[in-house]
Structure 1
């Protein structure tokens, strides 16, 4: 039987195919070493004699054409004439005592990323314990490589922009903080906790991030984050995340909407409550039907109309301010527009907007947001749900670094 194409598909240079069999749903391949003799592992001598084959090793290889592939490797007995040591042929494609080739084991971790060990075991028809063992060994080295690559990329980045945001381990109780390279698109590290004392404690134990020289750091309006960044990177511009800031305005709009609902007839109240989300959408993203509904709702109350226009003016300010100096002037006009609306929700929102005026306007120095950060937070949330949470903190951190930097994986 011609086997040169099978040798090419097998992609193991030290082996040559002697026979291929189809046994039920599996493919069995009989192979032989391409070399006649092997050097002694003790003295590295080449005066070696063969003493026959003791047995055959059945080793799982990469699947082909939807079938499992097994290699049958002869356990060739050898003896060194120089040191009288007997040994068995050592194959480079498979470790001693293993039932899987190195290529097959290297393919397993990619099956687990974005899924679970149980799912990967079913897909590859491999015991779950084997998949877990291989994946944990790979995760130990790969996570260190990925984090090192991300750190080196951040250190060498010109005009580095960091993003900081928290994500829940147990919502309302326990949180972690993620550090992101927004320009490079990578997840750098996880800080346990989100309070100022926890951030400072982490900085004392892990001083490696002090070497970064970010031009700007994007975060929400949490005072602890701004204090920590001001201490750690005093020269960096602190930017209030656009979407976190915009939420304060939309929440004020919804408070006004709830007050207006109480004064309406039952049918109008039900309709406004049912479609309340479209009030928070940008006007340029509304469909024709939604535009008609919004026009109808704004006729219910003069205050609601003014707050809606105030909200749209804020979006326009973010989009259309050509420079930081013009943004500051436009922001002052927007604050004056809000002060003319006599409603407690709007006035409470304006207090926050005035307190964080500098950080909000800094967006127009460097137009970066934490949109990518929120996407990774959703990925982390999905990871925790798939695994019913990972109890080992070390594995938990490694898994997040790998999932959020998937494009840097070597497998």
Structure 2
């Protein structure tokens, strides 16, 4: 078998394309494969038989390494001429228009990117520049979004915010709860940007959404009410738990600073014991908590209210029953006259309907929070994203479940 025949099989070059010569440079660790066109041509636009007008300037495409050496294809692409479409450049079978890489090489780069989740590391492994890696990634996402076409709305959506860059900069992420994927994201969390996000679906598709989970950011709620008319708005229970945890920790710190030295012993070493969920408590934690709830400390009363809230969420209540219990909890929390607890009571009261909607389907925003964790990992590997567009491309590339393959 000749070297040319070997590389024809290795590279998948088929008629009317034919390998003319192969140059091997051991010193440069490089293989250059020269391809020429042989046979009849068809117009790339209308597919009718056409004459060859002339040949374009020589172009090069990076291919997968062969024999541990960089491999490049070179070819002067023929330009066809037909009566209808005039002069058009014939596309090669091994690449897509305007690309400087073969389909097989682009496919391999995408697989490495998905594995490493880092442009720099991928560029180093494949001996590419970061700009070349970024170009392949951008093209893959553009291709995936075109293939995705018009979106079909799921029954359940989730929406959340994520910081990026320096200062108070946020993106808003829309997650398909049913299919566990990021649908789209926008560069802010204003009502205008959230509206654009929800309009990723047509009006008819938006009618199919039955529920949307979110935190208590007003723009999320207001815009969802406007654009998702049939959707049940559910405020995440873990967001409430977070507010309660902050109130407990604030109360403990304030009280510990105000107590006398001999009284501080009752709060010593209690921080994580009080904040842990019941499933994560150790035997030592339970020992510390014996008799603590019945104490006269403000911290003990806030802890008691936190536990009541947890038990309320875990009870098999209907949404209507939950509303009655939450109303009682709010009244009891206010009676304690503890600043942090009063703030939580006010927050729950202001968002009572969305909080109680949890009891219809017991849905949380955990899927969006999980995606946020993965996005944070991506952000850490990249040492941050100052550019919103690059941030969007990376998130859709890794978590959009797009069809990225160029072939």
Pair in the same fold by TM > 0.5: yes
Match of 2:385 among 361, 386, 389: 389
In structure 2, the residue matched to 1:256 is: 251
In structure 2, the residue matched to 1:136 is: 138
User: Post-superposition shift, 1:361?
Assistant: 0.9
Whether the 8 Å contact between 1:116 and 1:387 is mirrored in structure 2 is no
Distance 1:166 1:196 in 2: 13
CA distance 1:140–1:267, shift in 2 (3 Å): farther
Match of 1:167 among 146, 162, 167: 162
CA distance 1:169–1:19, shift in 2 (3 Å): closer
The runs of 5 or more residues in structure 1 that have no matched partner are 47-55, 79-88
Q: TM-score, normalised by structure 2?
A: 0.73
Distance 1:368 1:61 in 2: 48
Distance 2:197 2:30 in 1: 55
User: Post-superposition shift, 1:261?
Assistant: 0.9
Matches within 5 A, 1:191-270: 191-196=186-191, 198-199=193-194, 202=196, 206=199, 208-211=201-204, 212-213=206-207, 214-264=209-259, 269=264
Deviations 1:175-216 (A, max 9, x none): 22222222222222223322335545x479x57453312212
Distance 2:91 2:232 in 1: 59
CA distance 1:384–1:282, shift in 2 (3 Å): closer
In structure 1, the residue matched to 2:102 is: 101
Whether the 8 Å contact between 1:260 and 1:301 is mirrored in structure 2 is no
Aligned pair count reads 381
Distance 1:8 1:396 in 2: 40
Secondary structure at the counterpart of residue 389 of structure 1: coil
CA distance 1:407–1:263, shift in 2 (3 Å): same
Secondary structure at the counterpart of residue 374 of structure 2: helix
- Aligned residues: CA RMSD: 4.6
Distance 1:98 1:216 in 2: 42
User: Post-superposition shift, 1:232?
Assistant: 1.8
Matches within 5 A, 1:26-37: none
CA distance 1:2–1:325, shift in 2 (3 Å): farther
Whether the 8 Å contact between 2:174 and 2:197 is mirrored in structure 1 is no
Secondary structure at the counterpart of residue 151 of structure 2: helix
Matched, 1:39 2:40: yes
In structure 2, the residue matched to 1:279 is: 274
In structure 1, the residue matched to 2:351 is: 356
In structure 2, the residue matched to 1:12 is: 12
User: Post-superposition shift, 1:103?
Assistant: 0.6
User: Post-superposition shift, 1:282?
Assistant: 1.0
Whether the 8 Å contact between 1:384 and 1:390 is mirrored in structure 2 is no
In structure 2, the residue matched to 1:288 is: 283
Whether the 8 Å contact between 2:144 and 2:402 is mirrored in structure 1 is no
User: Post-superposition shift, 1:2?
Assistant: 11
Distance 1:256 1:216 in 2: 35
Q: TM-score, normalised by structure 1?
A: 0.73
